[in-house]
């Protein structure tokens, strides 16, 4: 059962969701820029402890996946706002 008078609350929730998505999009763009600006990994000294290397392609794919998810959620939010 849908309570009467919640349209305003729904609109506020949608606006907050759209704002959050915008913030996520901005963060993804900043991460993509930072990843692109990373220098090529330098050869580590022999005595340096072993550590896993950053898989740049996997990181970029994760960012693309997140960007696609944000777009999908944003589209749903806009559709709900239009239908609401």
Rounded Cα distance between 40 and 48, Å, is: 18
Burial class for 25, CB neighbours closer than 10 Å (0-12, 13-18, 19+) = middle
pLDDT of residue 2: 47
pLDDT band at 1; cut points 50, 70, 90: very low
Q: What percentage of the chain carries pLDDT values higher than 90? A: 0
Q: What is the pTM of this model?
A: 0.42
Q: What percentage of the chain carries pLDDT values higher than 70? A: 68
* 7 or 83, which is more confident: 83
Q: Concatenate the DSSP letters of all residues of 2-46 into one string.
A: PPTT-HHHHHHHHHHHHHHHHHHHHHHHHHHHHHHHPPPPPPPPT
pLDDT of residue 23: 87
Rounded Cα distance between 51 and 44, Å, is: 10
């Amino acid at each position: 059962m849908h309570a009467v008078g919640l349209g305003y609350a729904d609109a506020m929730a949608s606006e907050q969701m759209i704002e959050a998505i915008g913030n996520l999009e901005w963060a993804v763009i900043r991460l993509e820029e930072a990843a692109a600006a990373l220098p090529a990994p330098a050869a580590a000294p022999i005595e340096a402890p072993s550590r896993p290397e950053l898989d740049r392609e996997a990181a970029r794919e994760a960012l693309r996946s997140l960007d696609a998810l944000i777009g999908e959620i944003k589209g749903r939010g806009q559709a709900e706002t239009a239908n609401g």
